[in-house]
Structure 1
Amino acid sequence: MASLSSKTHGNNLRNAVVALLAPLPTIFFYLSFLRHYSTAEADSLSPLWAWCYSHPLLLANILFFLNVNLLFWLVGLLQSSHWMIDLYWTVIPVLLVHYFAIHPLTEYNAWRSSLVIFLTWVWSVRLTHSYFRREKWQFGAREDWRFSDMRLQYGKNWWWASFFAVYLSQQVFLMGICLPLYAVHSKDRQLNIWDLVAALVCLTGVTIAYFADTQLHNFVSRNEKLKQLGQALVPNLDEGLWHYSRHPNYFGEQLWWWGLVIFAWNLEYGWMFIGALINSLCLAYVTILVEERMLKQQYRAEAYKNYQKTTSVWVPWFNTSLAGKEKET
C-alpha cells in the first residue's frame, strides 16, 4: 500500500513538472519577440520579428499548433494518456488574453481590456478549481473518458488519429471561441452599456457553472462513500440547479462564451459568434454522448429516463409533471 501511494505521488509530481514546462517554448519565444521589438524600430525589425508584429492572430495560431498540437501530442504518446489538453483548456484563454493585450499592434480601451482580463481570470480559476477537485487534486491521473472511448474505437490507428481528434480539433474550438478576446484588443472604443451587459452574462454563466459543478461534485462524492459502505447508490442528481436543468454546468459554460460574443459584437466584430456557435453545437453532441452513457448504467437507467421526460436539457426551467407526460402519451 505504501509503495502504491509512493508511486502515485511520484507520478503526480512528474506530471505537475511536465504541465508547468509545457507552455514555456511559446512563452520564451513571445518574450523574445517583445524584447526585440522594444529595442528596435518596427521598420528595422528582422523579417521574423516583423512578421510576428504584423500578424498577431496568425502567430497565435502557429504557436498553438507547434506548442499544443505537436508538443502536447508527443507528450501524450509518450505517456499513453492525453490528459494535458483538458488541464490547459482552463489556462489557454488566460494566456491568449494577455498575449493580445501586450502585443505591440494592439489597440483597446483600457477599462474594457481590464474588465475582460479580470473576467477571464475568474472563469479560469473557477474551471481550474473544478478540474482539480474532480481529479482529486492530481495531475494527469486520467484522461477524458471521451478520449479513452476513442482510443478503443481507433485501436492501432489511435496514435495518429489522436492528433486530429484531440488536438487539431481543440485548436479550432479554442481559437474560435477566444476570438472575442482578440476583438477587445483590436479597437479602442469608449465603454458603454453593452459592455456591462456582456460582463453580467459572463459572470452569470461562471456563477451557474460553479454551483452546478459543486452540486455535481457533492453528489458524486456522496455516491462514492455509499459504494465504500456497500450501500445502494443514489441513481440520479435532481436537486439544486439540476432540478431545473439536466446540464446546468454546460448551460453556465455556454453563457460565459456567448457573453464574450457580446463584447465582440459591441465592437463590430459580430461575425465572431461563429466560434461560440460551433462550440455550442459540439457541446450539444457531447450532451447526447453523456446521456447515452447515463442510460447504459443499469442502476440509474430508469431514473434517468424519467429525469429526461421532466427536466429541461440545458436552459433551466420548471419541472414538467411526469404524470402529465404519461397522460399525454
Structure 2
Amino acid sequence: MAKGSSSNVNSLKNGVIALLVPLPSILFYLCFLSNCGGGGCSSGLWKWCYHHPLLLVNALFFLNVNLLFWLISLVQSSHWMIDLYWTLIPVVLVHYFASHPLAEYNELRSWVVVALTWIWSTRLSHNYLRREGWQLGAREDWRFTDMRQQYGRNWWWVSFFAVYLSQQVFLMGVCVPLYVVHSVKEELKLWDLVAIFMCVSGIGMAYFADTQLHEFVSRNRKLKMSGKAMVPNLEEGLWRYCRHPNYFGEQLWWWGVGILGWGLGVGWSPVGSLLNTMCLAYVTKLVEARMVKQHYRAEAYRQYQKTTSVWIPWFRKSLYKQKNM
C-alpha cells in the first residue's frame, strides 16, 4: 500500500475513534435529561446529578477523557487526541451548562457566549487540522514526545497526570465562567460588552497570526524541497510587533471569558484565565528554547528576541540603540 493511502486509512480510523470516544458521556447525559428534564428525579444517582452539575461534569471528564483517552493513548502510543479535543470540549461544556435543568441565565448573553465559543472552536480546530495536513493522529504534540523521552519507561503512567489530569484542571478552570453565565440571570452590563470585545479581538488576532505562520511554514517547506535556503524567521504581519501574537490572541479570548463571569459577581472566575496565562508563559519558554537550538535560525531568532516584544504587540526596538546604550 502506498504511503499516502496508508496515511489516509489511519486518519479515517482515527476519525472514527474520535467520533465514538465521547459517546459514553453523551448517552449518559441524555439519559439524565430524560429522567430529570422536568426537575423531578426519582433515583439517587439522577438526583445527585441534578443537584451537582459541576461535580457531574468533572466526573464525566475524568472517566471519559482522562481515563478513556489515556487507555487509547497506551494502545496507540500517541497522545494526539487530547489536542483535537482541546478545541471541542469547551463547546460541549457550554451546551452542557446551558441545558442542565438547574441552568438559569439571560438568553441574549447565553446566545452570544455559545456563538462565540463555536467561533473560537471552529478557528482553533481549523488551525489544528491545517497544521496537521488534514490528517488525524499523524503525530502527537512535540512537548509530549519530549516528555516521553524524558520519563522513559515511566511515561505510561506519568502521562495520565501530565497529559490528561492536568488538562482537566486547565480546561475546567478556563470554562468555569461559561458555567457562571448559565447560573446567573441578569441583564447585559457594560462588562459584557468589554468581555465580548476582548473575545472577538482575541479570536481575530489568533486567526490572522496562525494564518501568517502557516503561510510562512508552507513557503519554507517549498524552499527546502527545492534545495534553497529557508527563511530563518517570521518577522512580518503581526509577528513584526510581538513574538507570539497567536498566544496573545488566545489569552485575550480566555481573559474575555473570565471577565464575563467576573462581571456577573463571581470574582474568582478569571482564575482559570490566570492559570492559562501561566501555562502559556511556560510553553513560550519551551518554544523559544527550541527555536535557538535550530542552527539555521538560531542567530536570527536571538536578534528577534532582542528587538521584539514577547506577547503584547508593540513597536520594535532598534539594535543600533541597544548596542550603543
Both proteins in one fold, TM over 0.5: yes
Amino acid in structure 1 at the alignment position of 2:203: V
**1:309 and 2:313 correspond:** no
Match of 2:229 in 1: 232
Q: Which runs of 5+ in 2 are unaligned?
A: none
Is residue 106–residue 187 contact of structure 2 (8 Å, CA) maintained in 1?
yes
For 1:319, what is the secondary structure of its paired residue? coil
* Residue in structure 1 matching 2:285, options 264, 271, 288: 288
Q: TM-score scaled to structure 2, two decimals?
A: 0.99
2:114 aligns with one of 114, 117, 138: 117
Deviates more, 1:204-213 or 1:188-197: 188-197
**Are 2:99 and 1:102 equivalent residues in the alignment?**
yes
Task: Write the distance in 1 (CA, Å) between the matches of 2:18 and 2:228.
Answer: 38
Tell me what 1:12 maps to.
Answer: 11
Which amino acid in the other structure matches residue 11 of structure 2? Answer: N
What is residue 46 of structure 1 aligned with on the other side? 43
- Partner of 2:33 in structure 1? 34
Task: Report the CA distance between 1:132 and its aligned residue.
Answer: 0.3
Match of 1:252 among 228, 231, 249: 249
Cα deviation for residue 41 of structure 1 reads 5.1
| 1:143 CA drift (Å) | 0.2
State the shift of 1:3 in Å: 2.2
Deviation at 1:8, TM superposition (A): 1.0
| CA deviation after TM superposition for structure 1 residue 140, in Å | 0.7
For 2:153 and 2:264, the matched residues in 1 are separated by 48
For 1:274 and 1:194, the matched residues in 2 are separated by: 17
Shift of 1:7: 1.2
> AA paired with 2:134?
W
- Deviation of residue 82 (structure 1)? 0.4
Task: Provide the rounded CA distance (Å) in 1 between the counterparts of 2:50 and 2:322.
Answer: 61
| Cα offsets for 1:180-235 (capped at 9, x unmatched) | 00000010000122211111100000000000000000000000000000100100
Q: Does the aligned pair in 1 maintain the 2:247–2:311 contact within 8 Å? A: yes
Equivalent residue, structure 1, for 2:128: 131
Q: Return structure 1 stretches of 4+ with deviation > 2 angstroms.
A: none
TM-score between the two structures when normalised by the length of structure 1: 0.98
Report the Cα distance in structure 1 between the residues aligned to 2:120 and 2:108, rounded to whole angstroms. Answer: 18
Q: How does 1:167-246 map to 2 (within 5 A)?
A: 167-246=164-243
User: Quick check: 133-142 or 190-199, which moved more?
Assistant: 190-199
| RMSD, aligned CA | 0.8
The Cα shift of 1:109 comes to: 0.4
For the pair 1:83 / 2:80, whether they are aligned, the reply is: yes
1:266 aligns with 2:260: no
> Following the alignment from structure 2 to structure 1, what is the Cα–Cα distance between the partners of residues 68 and 136?
17
**Corresponding letter in the other structure for 1:92:** I
More off after superposition, 110-119 vs 264-273 = 264-273
SS in 1 for 2:242: coil
Alpha-carbon shift at residue 18 of structure 1 (Å)? 0.4
Partner amino acid for 2:123? R
Q: Specify the alignment match of 1:64 in structure 2.
A: 61
Deviations, residues 20-45 of structure 1 (Å, cap 9, x unaligned): 1111110000001001113x652x52
Q: Unmatched 5+ residue regions in structure 1?
A: none
- Give distance in 2, aligned partners of 1:241 and 1:83: 28
Letter in 2 for 1:325: Q
Structure 2 contact 106–184 (Cα < 8 Å) conserved: yes
Whole-Å separation in 2 of the counterparts to 1:35 and 1:261: 32
Note the alpha carbon deviations across 1:264-315, whole angstroms, 9 max, x for none.
Answer: 0111012121111011001100000000000000000000000000000000
Question: Is contact 1:261–1:270 with CA below 8 Å preserved after alignment?
Answer: no
Aligned match for 2:139, one of 137, 142, 157:
142
> How many equivalent residue pairs?
325
Q: Per-residue deviation at 1:261?
A: 1.0
SS in 2 for 1:223: helix
Structure 1 Cα separation of the partners of residues 16 and 93 of structure 2: 22
Give me the whole-angstrom Cα distance separating, in 1, the residues matched to 2:259 and 2:270. 9
C-alpha separation in 1, matches of 2:313 and 2:89: 29
Distance 1:142 1:18 in 2: 15
Alignment partner of 1:271: what SS?
A: coil
Structure 2 residue 154 is the aligned partner of structure 1 residue 166 = no
